[in-house]
Amino acid sequence: MSTPILEGQGISKAYGGVQALYRVNIALYPGEILGLIGPNGSGKTTLFNALSRVIPVDEGRIFFRGQDVTDARPYQMARMGLARTFQVVRVYKKMSVLENMLISRSWRGVRAWNVLRPSRRETYQRAWELLEFFRIAHLAHMPAGALSGGQRRLLELAMASMPDPEVFLLDEAMSGINPALVEEIKERIQEMRQHQGKTFLMVEHNIQFISDLCDRVVVLHQGQVLAEGTPQEITENEAVIEAYLGV
Amino acid sequence: MRAATATSASAPVSLFRRWDIWAWVGLILLAALYPLSDPTTARLLVATQIFVLITLASNWNLIGGMTGYVDFGHLTFFGIGAYTVGILMTRSKEIVFAPQLSFWQAWVFSGLAAMVFALLLGAATLRLRGPYFSIAMLATLLAMREIVRLLTPITGGGGGLDLPPELNRIEEYYLSLGLMTLSVGLMWWIRNTEFGLSLLAIREDEVGAEMRGINTTLHKTTAFALSAFLTGLVGGFWAWQNTYIDPDVVFFEPRNLEMIIAVVLGGLGTVWGPPLGAVVLYGLREFFWNRFLFAHLLGLGLMLIFVVLFLPGGLIGLMQKGRAIPLHELLRPRPAVSQEEEA
């Protein structure tokens, strides 16, 4: 396999007396779709927060495209080509759906003084294309706070796609979205991987979704990697079954 | 992916095709012509005071309303501007062995001094969020007043400083009109740029803004410094106009309160809310002052309570629902990552 595009080596993180992650190693390869599963409280979101640099780690190093980014800030990760969604949807509720999209635009080639002008025509164009794709273009001028939970999820996905990132970290991004659209998004993800070489790391509780889409799956349990393998290997792994079902 | 729908809203609207800026230009032109009608000095002074209040409110709105950092000590920058002008016009010989400066020379430094102080202060206080930032800024204001009072050789201490009197009301009128035009125009422009959108994103969700590629430290520090620069200029102008400064008249708490009330009354985070709120507030203040001289501050306090409770979106919020953000939302403690996500 090639060099990982995103890699965490020996990541540990504790909240007070709770060890959320303990020496976790994870590697995401270019063009891969990697699933991250585990029971509630296993440390999936903490790992996402650590990899996207939203929280500092107590121990370990993080590499993005071979560069040590352990001390990088989230905006630097975003500008390097990493986009993420959150378990608790983060959209700007007081702003319109379109403004949410404009904020999420690409920072590639943007000089400091460029921000002192209105959003460019190309930014609007891309925003509308993505709103159309996620079927929320008709809501463009509504405040994001007026959207339903599922619509907010779609908006957050559209916002993550806005800067055309190389790596997507999707934290339960499909929850609350209707099954027909989930199928369409699944196809879109596969298409983006095949034609554009995009890379995905996704937390999902929908095992069928993970099995259909992912090349590999990593299972976290009590802050540690319990198992790693293809979806089939994982579903047949006794330790995983025990961790999930407690049998 | 399906093709984009070509709607009229799918492309940016040219800034100069916006009706609000032309309405503003019209009002400014009318205000510029007003002195030609030979008004009394008292009326010119009232107009100047209104322009100053609008400017202060608009400046405060940049950091408090647009960026979401509710600054309860913004008058610190007004004071720095006032004392910079006062010291450079009366004491530069004794302190820096330089010739005494004219108002125009000293005025430039008033904005710069406030901005430099904001950059230093912001490096520490802008790390705080919600009410913690507000309290830190209030403490800064109170500390600054006492520092100025103690630095008698430089600031004149409690005895204050007498500035050379000018008393040219027409000049003051046009200068304050110019300041107001600059400040409100700048807010309108910022609101319509990507920088303005980024500030609003920081206000609503700072972590989310970082994950969208926004360098939040740079953005909020720039907004804070710019706001302080403009407020410092107003302070410098006010010192020159007033011809006398001391810690109590410069760091006068009701002025601090008024700029916040004007913004909350007009509509936090909107461009036209602060000017509207400032005009209405000035009128109400005069009303309270004339009828309840000893209780007019109580009236202002009650008004702030009324607006916060019953008019959270301000006057602009009445016209455009959802445009302005309520004060209590900005004063809520905001953790970096939600508790659910930390689980």
Band of pLDDT at residue B111, cut at 50, 70 and 90 = very high
Residues A93 and B204: beta-carbon distance below 8 Å: yes
pLDDT at B16: 66
A120 touches chain B (CB under 8 A): yes
The reply to whether B61 falls in a domain is: yes
User: For residues A121 and B177, which has the higher predicted lDDT (pLDDT)?
Assistant: B177
The reply to whether B257 falls in a domain is: no
Q: Is the pLDDT of residue B8 over 60?
A: no
- pLDDT tens readout for residues A175-185: 878 888 888 88
Mean pLDDT of B192-221: 93
The reply to whether B179 falls in a domain is: yes
Q: Is the pLDDT of residue A36 over 50?
A: yes
Q: Is the pLDDT of residue B341 over 60?
A: no
pLDDT at B325: 76
The 10 Å Cβ neighbour count of residue B137 is: 23
pLDDT at B323: 64
Determine the Cα angle at B314 with ends B313 and B318, to 5°: 75
Q: Which residues of B touch A79 (CB under 8 A)?
A: 213
Q: Is the pLDDT of residue B193 over 60?
A: yes
Domains in chain A, number: 1
From B114's Cα to the closest Cα of chain A, the distance in A is: 23
| Chain A residues 63-92 with a CB less than 8 Å from chain B | 73-75, 77-79, 83-84, 86-88, 90-92
The reply to whether B50 falls in a domain is: yes
Alpha carbon distance B66, B252 (integer Å): 25
The reply to whether A7 falls in a domain is: yes
pLDDT at B2: 41
Q: Which residues of A touch B1 (CB under 8 A)?
A: 129, 132-133
Q: Which long-range contacts (CB under 8 A, 24 or more apart) does B326-331 make?
A: B326/B268, B327/B70, B327/B264, B327/B268, B330/B64, B330/B68, B330/B69, B330/B70, B330/B130, B330/B203, B330/B268, B331/B70, B331/B130, B331/B131, B331/B134
CA of A119: which chain B residue's CA is closest? B194
Nearest to A124 among B12, B192, B200 (CB): B12
**Cβ contact (<8 Å) for B210 and A41?**
no
Q: Is the pLDDT of residue B3 over 50?
A: no
pLDDT at B343: 44
**Cβ contact (<8 Å) for A104 and B11?**
no
Domains in chain B, number: 1
Nearest to B340 among A87, A132, A145 (CB): A87
**Cβ contact (<8 Å) for B200 and A125?**
no
Nearest to B4 among A55, A90, A132 (CB): A132
Mean pLDDT of B6-33: 76
Whole-model pTM: value is 0.89
Mean pLDDT of B177-186: 96
The reply to whether B211 falls in a domain is: yes
The reply to whether A150 falls in a domain is: no
Alpha carbon distance B263, B274 (integer Å): 4
| Chain A residues 94-113 with a CB less than 8 Å from chain B | 94-95, 98-99, 102-107
CATH number at residue A33: 3.40.50.300
CA of A53: which chain B residue's CA is closest? B211
Q: Which residues pair with A24 in a beta bridge?
A: A11
The reply to whether B335 falls in a domain is: no
From A1's Cα to the closest Cα of chain B, the distance in A is: 29
Q: Is the pLDDT of residue A101 over 50?
A: yes
Mutate to test the interface with B, among A76, A85, A95 (most CBs of B within 10 A): A95
| Structure tokens, B255 | 């002025």
Q: Is the pLDDT of residue B123 over 70?
A: yes
Q: Which residues pair with A68 in a beta bridge?
A: A63
ipTM metric: 0.88
The reply to whether A46 falls in a domain is: yes
pLDDT at A20: 93
Band of pLDDT at residue B13, cut at 50, 70 and 90 = low
The reply to whether A93 falls in a domain is: no
**Cβ contact (<8 Å) for A92 and B343?**
no
The reply to whether B127 falls in a domain is: yes
| Structure tokens, B142 | 């109170």
Q: Which residues of B touch A21 (CB under 8 A)?
A: none
Residue B223, CA distances (Å) to B59, B122, B176, B229 in order: 9, 10, 22, 10
- Per the structure, the complete domain to which residue B207 belongs is given by 40-252
- pLDDT tens readout for residues B37-96: 989 999 999 999 999 999 999 999 999 999 999 999 999 999 999 999 999 999 887 776
From B190's Cα to the closest Cα of chain A, the distance in A is: 7
Mean pLDDT of chain A, nearest integer: 90
- Per the structure, the complete domain to which residue A20 belongs is given by 1-80+200-247
Tell me the CA end-to-end span of chain A in Å, nearest whole number. 35
Lowest mean pLDDT among A37-41, B179-183, B214-218: A37-41
The reply to whether B154 falls in a domain is: yes
| CA atoms within 13 A of residue B61's CA, in its CB half-sphere | 37
In sequence order, the 6+-apart residues with CB closer than 8 A to the CB of B22 are none
- pLDDT tens readout for residues B258-286: 999 999 999 999 999 999 999 999 998 88
Q: Is the pLDDT of residue A29 over 50?
A: yes
